[in-house]
Amino acid sequence: MGTVRVSRSNRSRCDLVTNPALRRRANETTDRIAANFPSGMARPALRALFAAGITDLRQLAQMREADLAGLHGIGPRALTLLRDALHAAGLRFKRSADHGAKEVTMGTINRLWHQKNRMPANATPAQRVAWHKAHAQHCACRPIPKGVVALMKAGVGKSATARSKRAKRKSTRARAVAKR
């Protein structure tokens, strides 16, 4: 058997495209929830709903339409089908006025915040820390990456006075240990 060549375009694709076993498992999960949604829903839309923890229309009604539109796999056609299905069931999407800032759950994307607050290109560690702190406070669509958490623990992004106070405490402790 010959070797399988991966084209340059396939390298950037998601795992579902390049890994048939993963794709089969994803399709099995979407088959389980497909009956709860209107017929004609595309698999990427069903996978997006499942990944967001939405398995029926009642759960869907707890989301804002804008948050749903931000999910990868949900396009205009899926939104139209879902909106019509909710209407037929006597339900509706959560309205923006019903949506408190603290109700944003992991996985939903606050598109407006992301549009207004882009991570700078070639960001310094201090800029990355500052961006992720603001992101955790306002959006929190995903957890802070481990590398940024490590930077935070190392004191990157703190003011110079906070670093100098910490260094002073460490030197005082070191002197106290040395005297013993």
Question: Residue 84 has what pLDDT?
Answer: 92
Model pTM? Answer: 0.46
**CB 80 within 8 Å of CB 93:** no
Question: Residue 10 has what pLDDT?
Answer: 45
Domain residue spans in the chain? 12-103, 111-163
Single-letter residue type at 25: R
Q: Tell me which fold the domain 12-103 belongs to.
A: DNA polymerase; domain 1 (1.10.150)
Q: What is the mean pLDDT of each run of 10 residues along the chain (180 residues)?
A: 45 65 82 88 87 88 87 88 91 69 47 78 87 78 82 75 61 69
d(Cα 171, Cα 165) in Å, to the nearest integer?
Answer: 10
Give the list of residues 6+ apart from residue 136 with CB closer than 8 angstroms, or none: 144
Question: Residue 1 has what pLDDT?
Answer: 42
Number of other residues whose CB lies within 10 A of the CB of residue 108: 20
